[in-house]
Structure 1
Amino acid sequence: MLTTHSENELQLTADVLVIGGGPAAAWAAWAAASQGVKVIIVDKGFLGTSGAAAASGNGIMAPSPENWDKVVSERYRVGKNLANLRWIERVIEKTWLSLPLVEDWGYRFPKENGESVRQSYYGPEYMRVLRKNLLRVGVQILDQSPALELLLANDGSVAGARGVQRQHHRTYTVRAGAVVLANGGCAFLSKALGCNTNTGDGLLMAVEAGGELSSMEASNHYAISTAFNATVTRGVPFGWASFSDEAGNDLGGYVNGRRDPSFLPNALLKGPVYARLDRATPEVKAVIEKSHFIAYLPYKKADIDPYTERVPVTLVLEGTVRGRGGIRLTDDSCGTKVPGLYAAGDAASREFLAGLASGGGGPNAAWAISTGQWAGVGAAAFAKSLGAHANERVAHPTGQAGLRSPQADKTPSSAFDSEAIVRGVQNEMFPLEKNHFRSEQQLLDSLSKLEKLWEQVQANPKQDTVRDVEFSRRAAALTAVARWGYFSALHRTETRGEHIRVDYPETDPNQRYYQATGGLERLWVRRDWIADAMSGDKTQSVYTTPPALRDLRKNKVPVILEYLGSADLPAPTKSLEWK
């Protein structure tokens, strides 16, 4: 592995570069290294303590083989005919077979009757073990080193990435034969525990390199939290809560003995909501205080007895982290449309596992373990196929918004305010009435404002320090992800899973397709029809103009649309473009 560095720049080479610092990234780096290739992993924080998984405990969807059929069928049911049975089966199998490895590396699962119970993990210890194992197999780890843009070779294949090192106040370049994007989803800096490193960087990097996203309409997951803390989004304890309004009136919320999922969002729109865990038995209390200690800790710190006292609650946006949208996968090795670029974990679209429903918790943990390994092995095989001179390819950086301004030479201007951009994005993404309860007019209004923010991040980014570079790029990524999410939501005219349209409240059985999306200046959406739920075969169709888009000029939304076809279908005769 070649290493050169100066005071202002570090240059490295490897066969496989993994971007991210959570479970998916760690599994990808290990899997690639197990194929005998040189691996570098770069993380925005400290690999082992940053990210959602390291913040607390988590379940794992890893049932014993005799229960596989039951879990598979339930996952498919939750996916509302958009999940993929074959992918669900292979995720469960891969996860179940992989967990004994974690034990071999030093993690101690609880025992029952002498047998390990591998149904959950304690995040900090789990990630500590994964980091220790990476060092053992020779993976080079760059902490506090956020990647900001990909490198492409002249043939369109990925050739590495560039980023900054906070502690050394310098830039770095890693030339690599293949890259795995496993740097999480996007929670829009909502302060949900462990999610502030998840700002959509990988999604923007993938699209800039020529990749596509999918199911971005499922980018609006909200999680319950205490309002006085509003960071710990662990909902299990609230399963034993009663809810009331400010005056103390019981809000109920049950339908046929089960809590209505829309109960809390609807109640919060009417006013403050309070919860008391008064339905918890002594046995349940013991579980909450031990297994869900991170959720119990805010009460303990505030000297509140949650079983007898009412506490205000809220909903915190987790976006795509527990949602579904992400980089579109094109094959079983988690490859993308860009040769040599792979995606895993929350950075990848998880539509095959849960359709447009949330897969938070156990399913997401299993997805990270399985896709991480498939991506790592796939990346290693691609890097090997390039031969010994892969890192001698001519390559160019692909980063645009937030890194370099296309307008700088024409109209020099002062640097844009990245903090103001972030606040503008959050103003459109956080409110329940905009992002949870969606409607045509509200989506159009938000898209109009987001387009103006996108225009702003095309201007000069502030680059006085490495932090300035990182924050400017982060502002661009948040804006881009918000645009893709709302643009996809505008096109799916039904309610399905996490995607709720108040103007289309029913699930439309004819909308059995995934929505691919992408584009930077020219946003586009394509329907990928699901032809066979078992094999995941898809056909593509030209997207027709929904009624909402016919009024774009009247609403003055500066969105440029493009209709995409496929080789099997007639090409569109023209695209709609603003003059």
Structure 2
Amino acid sequence: MSFYPQQQTVDGDSHDLHLRTDVLVVGGSIAGCWAALAARRAGAGVILAEKGYVGTAGVVAAATAGGAHTVPGKTEHNDKVVNGRRAVAGGVDDPVLARRVYDETYRISLRLQEMGFEPNPGRPGASPFGGEPRLTSFNGPYSLHFLRTALLKAGVRILDHSPALELLAADGVVTGAAGVNRQSEQSWAVRAGAVILATGGNAFRSGAMGTNGVTGDGHLFGAEAGARLVGMEFSGHYGIAPAGSQTTKGFWYGSATFYDGAGRELPVNGWGAVPDVARAVMETGGAWATINRGGPDMQRFARRTVNLFQFFDRAGIDPFKDRFPLTLLYEGHVRGVGGLVVDDTASTGVPGLYAAGDVTDRTHMTGAQMSGAGPAVSWCLASGEWAGAAASAFAAGPGRALRRHEAVGLGGLGLRAPSGSACPTNALHDLRAAVQAEILPIEKNVFRSLDGIDASTGRLDGLWERHRGTLLGGGVREVVLARETAALLAGARWLYRAARQRTETRGLHRLRDHPASDAAQRDRIVLAGVDGIRLAREPLRAQAGQAAA
């Protein structure tokens, strides 16, 4: 039996802690923190619930990332920012919307400066490779601590170590969420006038740096509420890392020479190296690199990337002279682009539910290619700004009365089970490993095949059917694990459903059976549903300003 309430109706006795607020934000990395601050500036009372600790949670907290932005009057610079990835976007990006994001990021950068934020602590305004100063460079530990301090100063209540497990709804409107606190081992429920999901993407617990907490929870929560997903097939991104390291930062790719397992040089560099490195691993048993193409400026900048160079120093490797072995770590929808469909106000289309950051679709920014670095951070900030403003307005209007209506929990697989018997921890780990076995191997997901997709889909559907009525955690740790595992299983099914529909190669979806792009498939594959999955193909939106769906 699970300690988590099995009845769906949420009342005063169903959870240990009951709270009410105007806006609830689920997720506490950059997007969630900025959404909470934006909602607070709009006058809303805000609670932020985070699976980990706000200040160390999320991918950026483990690294450093910089947001791109336009600069008023700098036409040449602005064109480079907006069009920087158009050549590899596969024709499914939206430069008009991207420009709106980058313009918004500039305004946010000014606000951050007013708040005292330093984009490069100790080197204000510096840009390592020249050009316009980057005003939104996020040094992980510094920037997340800065945002936590700003949240507390603004009066946002933070629930640390409090993973959400489900959304709550009343009369078809999302009116809160419920979850558990890892430290007190109690359940909580927050009734709110609106909810913002900012839970990040899904790397399927691959071990890539900073990704263990991003398990697709928000995708599952949103789908259970009726939200749709898009771009899930553009998920075949793996980060190149030195073997033995979790660090997948890719700034050095363009300054490296890559080799296959036989020592032959690979004629690639930059982000395009990933499939060639994968092919070398599969065909020659390994891949190697030396960062020998960069000049002194690049080397000085690289040395400041502590999380990478600590590994090299400990291993006794001089990466600028020595060849070092490589591994590929899956990054999925963290650096891929698929996620929840949102409109220009960050609404999911489900009343009362908004979303920001990596949990959402980002094809408008970089098309079918990876969204990491500048575009991803810019989207986190801009979408957080829009979500905070729109959620506050909804909470002050339609959501105000509904947060006092009787609510029901929307959580399904992993949270409630007719059997009533909790799964042993080892059974939960076995199920998670079975899902990972269909997603993480490079031979399955760097280069896909129709037969491989069908085989994986069959196995994943079998797991779903086998566990749909029995997956249940007993204690706090097991309930969280069960729910995360449910999100991984659901995410894998969406990924391969979308991949099967796109019978072409485009960006991060590489299909052996159809190695070329098909102009007739320059569209969007939209999914809905958790148990029974529905698919639709929709044209790209014609112009900015209309809903992205």
Conserved in 1, the CA contact under 8 Å of 2:48 and 2:158? yes
Deviation at 1:391, TM superposition (A): 2.0
Q: Deviations along 1:389-435, whole A, 9 cap, x unmatched?
A: 33211210000000011x427xx796682101110111110111211
**2:257 aligned to which of 242, 250, 263:** 242
Aligned to 2:163: 146
1:486-523 deviations in Å (ceiling 9; x for gaps): 11000011111111111111111111211110222211
Equivalent residue number for residue 318 of structure 1: 331
CA contact (8 A) 1:415 1:460 kept: no
- Report the Cα distance in structure 1 between the residues aligned to 2:167 and 2:14, rounded to whole angstroms: 22
Describe how 1:410-559 pairs up with structure 2 within 5 A. Answer: 417-530=427-540, 532-534=542-544
Alpha-carbon offset, residue 15 of structure 1: 0.7
2:6 is matched with which residue? Answer: none
In the alignment, is the contact (CA less than 8 A) between 1:215 and 1:349 conserved in 2? yes
Measured in 1, the distance between the counterparts of 2:234 and 2:221 equals 20
AA aligned to 1:307 is F
Question: Does 1 or 2 have the higher relative contact order (CA < 8 Å, sep 6+)?
Answer: 2
Partner of 2:354, secondary structure, is: strand
Cα 1:112–1:451 change in 2 (3 A) is closer
Q: How much has 1:120 moved relative to structure 2?
A: 2.1
Give, in angstroms, the shift of residue 253 of structure 1.
Answer: 2.0
From the superposition, tell whether residues 63 and 112 of structure 1 become closer, same or farther in structure 2 (CA, over 3 Å). Answer: same
Number of the residue aligned with 1:161: 177
1:302 partner amino acid: A
Cα distance change on mapping 1:7 and 1:178 into 2, 3 Å = closer
Alignment of 1:61-76 (within 5 A): 61-65=68-72, 66=74, 67-76=77-86
Deviations 1:451-497 (A, max 9, x none): 12212331333433111100011110000001000110000111111
Aligned residues: 527
Q: CA deviation at 1:388?
A: 4.7
1:538 shift after superposition: 7.5
Q: Secondary structure of 2:506's match?
A: coil
Matches within 5 A, 1:23-172: 23-65=30-72, 66=74, 67-109=77-119, 110-111=123-124, 117-118=134-135, 120-154=137-171, 156-172=172-188
* Secondary structure of the structure 2 residue equivalent to 1:11: strand
> Residue 148 of structure 1 contacts residue 164 of structure 1 at CA under 8 Å; is this kept in 2?
yes
Q: What corresponds to 2:311 in structure 1?
A: 298
* Alpha-carbon distance in structure 2 between the residues aligned to 1:386 and 1:148: 24
* Equivalent in the alignment of 1:349: 361
What TM-score do you get using the length of structure 2 for normalisation? 0.91
| One-letter code aligned to 1:286 | R
Distance 1:71 1:303 in 2: 38
Structure 1 pair 429/380, CA: closer, same or farther in 2 (3 Å)?
Answer: same
Query: Contact (CA 8 Å) 2:260, 2:277: kept in 1 or not?
Result: no
Tell me how far 1:446 sits from its aligned partner.
0.4
Q: What is the CA–CA distance in structure 2 between the aligned matches of 1:388 and 1:536, rounded to whole Å?
A: 27
Amino acid at match of 2:390: G
1:281 equivalent in structure 2? 295
State whether residues 84 and 536 of structure 1, in contact with CA within 8 Å, keep that contact through their aligned partners in structure 2.
no
Within the alignment, does 1:398 sit opposite 2:413 as a pair?
Answer: no
In structure 2, relative to structure 1, the CA distance for the partners of 1:121 and 1:521 (3 Å cut) is closer
Corresponding residue for residue 570 of structure 1: none
From the superposition, tell whether residues 326 and 531 of structure 1 become closer, same or farther in structure 2 (CA, over 3 Å). closer
Counterparts of 1:356 and 1:191, CA distance in 2: 24
Identify the residue that residue 408 of structure 1 maps to in structure 2: 419
Task: Write the distance in 2 (CA, Å) between the matches of 1:387 and 1:337.
Answer: 14
User: In the TM superposition, what whole-angstrom CA distance separates every residue of 1:218-271 from its partner, at most 9, and x where no partner exists?
Assistant: 122111001122x10012223322223444x2322239x996553212111111
CA distance in 2 between counterparts of 1:266 and 1:278 reads 22
Q: Report if aligned partners of 2:201, 2:358 keep a CA contact under 8 Å in 1.
A: yes
AA matched with 1:232: T
Q: Secondary structure at the match of 1:408?
A: coil
Q: Cα gap change, 1:521/1:392 in structure 2, threshold over 3 Å: closer, same or farther?
A: same
SS in structure 2 at match of 1:254? coil
TM superposition shift of 1:308 = 2.5
Q: Is the 8 A contact 1:457 1:476 kept in 2?
A: no
**SS of match in other structure, 2:484:** helix
Q: Secondary structure at the match of 1:223?
A: strand
Aligned to 2:3: none
Give the Cα–Cα distance (whole angstroms) in 2 for the partners of residues 505 and 489 of structure 1. 14
- State how far apart, in whole Å, the 2-side matches of 1:18 and 1:281 are: 44
Cα drift, residue 105 of structure 1: 2.1
Deviation at 1:386, TM superposition (A): 2.5
CA contact (8 A) 1:102 1:129 kept: no
Q: Write the distance in 2 (CA, Å) between the matches of 1:241 and 1:76.
A: 23
Question: CA RMSD, aligned part only?
Answer: 2.4
CA distance in 1 between counterparts of 2:472 and 2:126 reads 60
